[in-house]
Amino acid sequence: MITCKKRIVILGAGYAGIFLATSIARYVTEKIGEVILIDRNPYHQLLQEIHLVAADFRTVDEVQIPILKLIDRTSIKFIQSAVKQIMPDKNMVGLESIKINYDLLIVCLGASIKYFNIK
């Protein structure tokens, strides 16, 4: 029996992206596929604690966890890059310096906050 390796690409390493990547990686062995996690930052931001930095109860380093530390004991491949283009007709994602093909794309890029010019 011949099986094709499947490439699962997850955009965004926030709560949803990290959860999905680690959950999927438990079931996807290197023989049947690969899980690639892409984020522009090398860290996962603990958003529920960001106010503690402003109140000087935590440092910035205490609310940022390196992504490589979170996926250390998994087969997940991490690429630090901004996503420039998603080409669904070609099953391809354009990053800053390379293009990645995928079989399954999961977009977890989060929300865009509007501050309505409040400073």
pLDDT in tens, 7-27: 999 999 999 999 999 999 999
Residue whose token pair is 């070609």: 90
Is residue 60 within 8 Å of 53, Cβ to Cβ?
yes
Quick count: other Cβ atoms within 10 Å of Cβ 35? 27
Domains of the chain: residue spans and CATH: 6-107 (3.50.50.60)
Q: pLDDT, tens digit, for every residue of 33-82?
A: 999 999 999 999 887 888 888 888 988 888 889 999 999 999 999 999 99
Calpha distance 99→21 (Å, rounded): 20
Q: What is the DSSP string of 30-79?
A: TTTEEEEEEESSSEEE-GGGHHHHHTTSS-GGGGEEEHHHHTTTS--EEE
